[in-house]
Structure formats: C-alpha cells, structure tokens
Amino acid sequence: MQRFILKSKNKITLMSGILISAGFLTNWIIGNETIFAWSLIIASALGVLPIAIQAYQALRVKVVSIDVLVTIAVLGAFIIKNYEEAAIVTFLFLFGAFLEQRTLNKTRSAIKELTEMAPESALKQIENGKFEEVDVGEVDVGDILLVKTGAKVPVDGTVLTGEGSINEASITGESLPVAKETGSNVYAGTILDNGTIQIVADRVGEDTTFGRIIELVEEAQDSKSEAERFIDKFSKYYTPAVLVLSLIVGLITQDVALAITILVLGCPGALVIGVPVSNVAGIGNGARHGILLKGSEVIGDFSKVDTMVFDKTGTLTVGNPSVAEKEYYGDNIDEALGYLASVERESDHPLAKAVLEEIGETTFSAVENTEVVKGGGIAAMVDGHRIAVGNVALMERENVVFSEKAKADVSRFEKSGNSLVLASVDGELKILMGIRDQIRPGVKEDLLKLKKLKVKNLVMLSGDNQGTVDAVSRELGLTEAHGNMLPEDKSAYIKKLIDQGQIVAFVGDGVNDSPSLALANIGIAMGSGTDVAIETSDVVLMNSDFSRLPHALGLTKATSRNMKQNIFIAVGVVLVLLASLLFSEWMNMSIGMLVHEASILVVILNGMRLLRYKLRNK
Amino acid sequence: MKKATLQLETLTCPSCLQKIDKAVKALDGVDKESVNVLFNSSKVKLNFDDEKLSVENIEKAITTLGYEVKKSQVNDL
C-alpha cells in the first residue's frame, strides 16, 4: 500500500492539481462554497498521503525531515479549516518535487552518459571451445573472450589472435582508431571498429581502466568540500529547530496560522541542494570535454590558482625530438640526402631517428669503412664518396670549409635551442639540420588564455640544459624557466612556492613527476588515462591534450562562481521570507511554499547552465 | 566482511540522504564508518558483516523507507 502510494506520487500530484483548479473554477462560476471546500479537502487529503508516509518513515529513523514539517503544517491548516492553503501547499510541494527530479536528472546527464558506456556483456569461451554470451560480471581474469566488429571490449586484456582497429575515445578521448594485433593491450569500454579479435582478460570490473575512471568521476560528483559539510551539519539541526520555533511561537501567540507558516518558510531546500547541483554539472561538463576533476575541493582550489608550473618535455613540447629547421648547400641534394640516410640507418642515436623520419623515402646505398668518432659523429664511405655526419667539431676535423651563410645558419640554429646534425660529401658541407623537441602546436595560444584567466605566473621546470629551456621560454613568453632540474629539485621548487603562500598547480605527464603532482595544491596529469597519474593527481587531461587546460581552468572558475551564487540565492530567499513574515501582511503558507519551491528550481536551473559552459574565444 | 553497492532510484531531496544513512546504520552488522550515501549518483556504499545479515536485509531497510533499490552488488573486501 505504502509503496503503491509513493509510486503513484505523480498521478496524485496531477489529480490534486485538477481538483484544486476545478474547485476554484466552480467557486468563481457558480459560486458554490460546498463543492469548493470539498474539492480542496479531497485534494489536500490525497496530496498529503505520500508526504505523510515519508514523514512517518523519517520519524521512525529519528530524522526530522522536511516532509515532517510540511505534514504538520497541512494538519494545522486543516485544524483551522483553511482548506485552500492546505491544498495549495501540498500540491506545490509535490509538483516541486516532480520538477526537481526532472531537472536534477538533466544536470546529472553528462556523467550518466559516461557510466552508460560501460560494457554489459561478453562472449566467453566455454569448455567445448565455443563462445557464449555472459554478463560482464561473470568474466574472471584469465578467461578467453571473443570481440566482434562493432562490439565493446568487455575487460582490459591482451590480444591472443586476430587483428583489428579500436576506437579508444572512451578512455583517451582520441577519436582516431588504433590498430591492434597479437600481444596488444586493449581496454574495457573501447569499441572494435573493424576486425575480430580474441583476448585474454587481464583486469575485470572495477579494476579496469574504464572502471577506475567511472569510480573516480562518481566519487568526485559526490565529494564534499568543507563548506558543504558545514551546510549538511547545519541543516541537520536546522529542521528540528524550525519545528521547535514554530511550536513556541504557536504557544505564545495562540496563532496557528502563524505557527504553520513558519514551518513552511523554514524548510531548507535550495541551501542543501545548491552546491551539489553546481558540483555535478561542473564535473559533468568536464567529463564531456576529456577533463576529469576530482571533486568539489579540487574545483575550489583550482579556481583560485595563481601560479602554474609546467614540466617541459611531453607537456609543453611534443616529447620526442624532430627536425625543426634545415638548410641545404650546393647541388645534388637528393643524392646527399640518400647518403645521409644510409649512414644514419646504421646508428641508433636518437638524433639519427629524427633525421631518418625527416628524410623519409630515399635511395639507400651500401655503407663501408664506418668510423665512429667519439663525441663527433660518423664518417664512412658510400658509393665511393667520403661522407661525414655529425656536429661542427667533426666537420672541422674533416677540414670542411664553412661559407659565411653556413656559419650564420649554425649560430642561428644553436640559438633557438637546436642540436645540430651536419653532413658533408667529400669534404663539402651539404646539409645542416636543427633538431629539437618541438613545442606542441597551439600551446602558445593556450598559455595566453591561461594568462587571461588571471594566472599570474607561468613557470617551466625541466631536466634539459638552461640554453634549451631559455629558448622554449622565450618562444612561449613564460614568466620563469629553470633547467637542469631533477624530479626532486622540481618538487623542492614547488614546495618553496607554496611556502611563499602561492596556490600552485603543477602540470606534468605523471610518469616521473608524481612527487610534484602530489605536492602541488593542484596536480594536473597529462595522462592517456592508463597511467598511475590518475591516482596521484587532482585533475586529469585525457589523451594528454594540452588545449583542454584553459577550458578546465575556466570551468572550475565558473563552477565555483555558480556555487556561490546558489548559496547566495538560498540564504537570500530564507532571509526575505522571514523578514516578510515579520513585516508584511501578504505572507502566508501558500506563497511561502511557492517561493521555497521556486528557489530550489532556480538553483537547479542555475547549476544546469554549467553543462553548456564553453571558454569564450576572446 | 563484504562490500555492498546499492543503486537506488534517482534521489532528489537532500533529507532522503539523512533518512537512508540513519536507517542503514541502525542495522546490526553494518560497519557504521563505511556507510556512504551518494546523492548525485544515487548510490549507497557500505561494508557489512555477512554472517550477521545479508544484502537483502539492507535492501529491505531502504525499500521500507519508500526508496526503490534498482541493483545491488556485493564484493569481497
């Protein structure tokens, strides 16, 4: 019976709404007081049922809930025969709850979309070697699973046989499919775009990368800040206090109408719901944009950040060196490039890799008499020509003559932080290449956006030499840049900044920077989602996408503003209601309930704005 | 000891949390410290002694309050 009534809450709301309007209509049109009174009595009796049941359940576990206040108020209104107010208050309360549910679902939708991407079933190999569809919860580590085209990978695993390409957007945010073959790792929640593979389960359920991400986001949306915990405690005592207050007022003034009005006005609503609503909408927006924010505490701190410290390699720069600039001298360059590639092919030096990548397709020739010159490079015979590949010192040893232009090029390349590779053919300089770890495209603009978002200091720390660091710093317009730093130097530097009273965010790839990530007020990991970085950091930028950083900062600022607005609205409404109760004539229970429900809807709608938040391109 | 995660119907009123919290904590065999009622994800997470009570007891305590339990999952701690 109880459950039936609670389940039909929406129907009851509708019926009581119809009864109320029918009552008012008959009263205006035919002026029949009896029909009017009875329709209102039925409406309020019907409407108060689900509220009273909830109130009773609350009292049973010793909680004075808002349902208790409303039930007493409605009973009070019955006693003084004010059926009009009783009916309207119950209707508004029920209708408000209905709207709240609808709008709250909306604010939570972004995160729900994420959790709904979780795989549900798997094709598991059974004893006779065939595959059978089972619930994903029944898959254990070591099971062999079949994944067909278009299906979700059910668990984290390793490919046993077959090949295909997988869309890993749900884990990395990267929409380009990744090719998988025997021995490749695959992740739960990713989608097999084409091909068929068999995998062995390595991690299942909540242990998978996807499971951990969901767990994190779910915990984040319900994590509470200091302020929220205070509000929670406050509201625990607030509701019983309102009850006591109205009793005292009722006893002293003997005015039941006043006492029950206090009950309705005192309902805490917007205050308790305001902050969680902003929180869930903000975190949901982040999740949609590949930003994991770990809770409201993080949002509060991040929005106030004044210094951002960046790791260089892999964060501001791409992470692997490539040819940034090049110059050719004289004729027969194609031939010279072929010789250079042939020599570099024999080497496993990191610069050689960059050179080969730059040259691409070419004619390779046999290399003879290879001589490795320590600290210089390589000299060898190719096609009967003497080829030298290496630095300036090697060229001098080979008696290569530098033209004025070549000299100028060398010093220019060095100045911009390049490592140099020169190639000579028969003692004549042919090729000059400047190789460096290049700045990620778009980083400069992103840093500018961060500055506009009132980040005062942009600092770069790196293990590279100061010359390289300075070159990058000049190009990006950073506030400070320090080279020759070991991971422990970086964390010591961050500690120094924090001790100076700055709020510091550290942005790193999380592989060797975990101490700094943990130490900074906000640790921001550029993770592809599979790293330990997820655990140690406060914010994760999926797929290592630097361009999400300004959005993340703007979003936390907007979310934190939104929370403050909601608290302001909630407190303001209660104050205005109480003041008007004391100083005005027009305040009654129905208006009180209307304002109360409206304020709850206003804070939810205000929070919902965050779902659409975008960084303005100014 | 086992760990239970219960998915409830969408929670909308903040005082629901208080009720559910108190009702679950009142059960014998529930580790009071571990009870966590999550508003936005509408979930209850808790550890309980599976020799003293079953997950059905916990579900019942919540449904009698008037909230539907959609799914529950029990894992070893």
So where are chain B's domains?
A: 2-76
Average pLDDT along chain B: 87
A566 SS3 class: helix
A530 falls in which pLDDT band (50, 70, 90)?
very low
A331 falls in which pLDDT band (50, 70, 90)?
confident
On chain B, the residues whose CB falls within 8 A of the CB of A111 are: 40-41
Chain A from 410 to 439: CB within 8 A of any B CB: none
Of A298-302, A361-365, A374-378, give the range with the top mean pLDDT.
A298-302
Report the C-alpha gap between A408 and A550 in whole angstroms: 39
Q: Mind spelling out the 3-state secondary structure of A237-289?
A: HHHHHHHHHHHHHHHHHCCHHHHHHHHHHCCCCHHHHHHHHHHHHHHHHHHHC
Report the C-alpha gap between A506 and A508 in whole angstroms: 6
Adjacent-strand bridge partners of A123: A133, A146
Segment A444-466, tens digit of pLDDT: 999 999 999 999 999 999 877 78
Residue of B nearest to A93 (CA): B13
Q: Please indicate whether, in this complex, the C-beta atoms of A57 and B64 are within 8 angstroms of each other.
A: yes
Q: What are the structural domains of chain A?
A: 121-213 (2.70.150.10), 291-317+440-544 (3.40.50.1000), 322-436 (3.40.1110.10)
On chain B, the residues whose CB falls within 8 A of the CB of A101 are: 10, 12
On chain B, the residues whose CB falls within 8 A of the CB of A99 are: none
Q: Please indicate whether, in this complex, the C-beta atoms of B12 and A61 are within 8 angstroms of each other.
A: no
Segment B6-41, tens digit of pLDDT: 998 888 776 778 889 889 999 999 998 899 888 888
On chain A, the residues whose CB falls within 8 A of the CB of B40 are: 108, 111, 221-222, 276, 279-280
A237 falls in which pLDDT band (50, 70, 90)?
confident
Q: Name the one residue in this structure whose structure tokens are 């009973």.
A: A75
**How confident is the model at residue A618, as a pLDDT?**
44
Low-confidence winner among A12-16, A25-29, A102-106, A228-232 (lowest mean pLDDT): A228-232
On chain B, the residues whose CB falls within 8 A of the CB of A69 are: none
The two three-digit tokens of residue A324, written as one number: 């940034």
On chain B, the residues whose CB falls within 8 A of the CB of A58 are: 15, 18-19
DSSP E strands, A29-135: 121-125, 131-135
**How confident is the model at residue A172, as a pLDDT?**
66
Q: Is A156 a catalytic residue?
A: no
Phi/psi of residue B53, nearest 5 degrees = -155, 165
Q: Please indicate whether, in this complex, the C-beta atoms of A66 and B13 are within 8 angstroms of each other.
A: yes
DSSP E strands, A536-576: 539-541
The C-alpha of A53 sits at a distance from chain B's nearest C-alpha, in angstroms, of 8
**Those residues with Cβ within 8 angstroms of residue A116's Cβ, 6 or more apart along the chain or in another chain:** none
Average pLDDT along chain A: 86
A285-303 in b/e burial notation, b at 16+ Cβ within 10 A? bbbebbbbbbbbbbbbbbb
Please name the amino acid found at residue A271.
L
**How confident is the model at residue A424, as a pLDDT?**
93
- Strands in B69-76's sheet, in edge-to-edge order, are B36-38, B43-48, B2-8, B69-76
Segment A398-416, tens digit of pLDDT: 899 899 999 999 988 888 7
In this model, does residue A529 exceed pLDDT 50? no
A101 touches chain B (CB under 8 A): yes
**How confident is the model at residue A617, as a pLDDT?**
56
**How confident is the model at residue A544, as a pLDDT?**
72
Q: Please indicate whether, in this complex, the C-beta atoms of A111 and B40 are within 8 angstroms of each other.
A: yes
**ipTM given for this complex:** 0.84
The C-alpha of B44 sits at a distance from chain A's nearest C-alpha, in angstroms, of 11
On chain B, the residues whose CB falls within 8 A of the CB of A218 are: 38, 41, 43
Q: Please indicate whether, in this complex, the C-beta atoms of A280 and B10 are within 8 angstroms of each other.
A: no
**How confident is the model at residue A510, as a pLDDT?**
59
Report the C-alpha gap between A358 and A570 in whole angstroms: 62
Low-confidence winner among A198-212, A223-237, A331-345, B34-48 (lowest mean pLDDT): A223-237
Q: Please indicate whether, in this complex, the C-beta atoms of A57 and B66 are within 8 angstroms of each other.
A: yes
Q: Please indicate whether, in this complex, the C-beta atoms of B41 and A239 are within 8 angstroms of each other.
A: no
Q: Please indicate whether, in this complex, the C-beta atoms of A62 and B15 are within 8 angstroms of each other.
A: no
A294 falls in which pLDDT band (50, 70, 90)?
confident
The two three-digit tokens of residue A225, written as one number: 């800040």
Q: Please indicate whether, in this complex, the C-beta atoms of A66 and B15 are within 8 angstroms of each other.
A: yes
**How confident is the model at residue A34, as a pLDDT?**
82
User: What average pLDDT does range A2-18 have in this prediction?
Assistant: 82
**How confident is the model at residue A562, as a pLDDT?**
94
Of A100-114, A316-330, A550-564, A584-598, give the range with the top mean pLDDT.
A550-564
Under CATH, which architecture does the B2-76 domain have?
Answer: 2-Layer Sandwich (3.30)
B70 touches chain A (CB under 8 A): no
Segment A19-60, tens digit of pLDDT: 888 888 888 888 777 888 888 899 998 889 988 988 888 888
Report the C-alpha gap between A455 and B71 in whole angstroms: 45
A109 touches chain B (CB under 8 A): no
Strands A522-526 and A504-508: parallel
Q: Please indicate whether, in this complex, the C-beta atoms of B41 and A221 are within 8 angstroms of each other.
A: yes
Please name the amino acid found at residue A150.
G
Task: Name the residue among A303, A318, A618, A288 with its Cα closest to residue A439.
Answer: A318
Q: Please indicate whether, in this complex, the C-beta atoms of A279 and B40 are within 8 angstroms of each other.
A: yes
Interface test with B, best of A62, A63, A98, A135 (most B CBs within 10 A): A63
Compare CB distances from A222 to B13, B19, B41 and report the shortest one's residue: B41
**How confident is the model at residue A512, as a pLDDT?**
67
Residue A31: how many other CB atoms lie within 10 Å:
9
Report the C-alpha gap between A125 and A556 in whole angstroms: 46
Chain A from 24 to 63: CB within 8 A of any B CB: 53-54, 57-58, 61-63
Phi/psi of residue A95, nearest 5 degrees = -65, -40
The C-alpha of B52 sits at a distance from chain A's nearest C-alpha, in angstroms, of 21
Compare CB distances from B26 to A61, A105, A108 and report the shortest one's residue: A61
Please tell me which residue in A311, A409, A513, A538 is annotated as part of the active site.
Answer: A311
A514 falls in which pLDDT band (50, 70, 90)?
confident
Report the C-alpha gap between A487 and A518 in whole angstroms: 12
On chain B, the residues whose CB falls within 8 A of the CB of A239 are: 15
A584 falls in which pLDDT band (50, 70, 90)?
confident
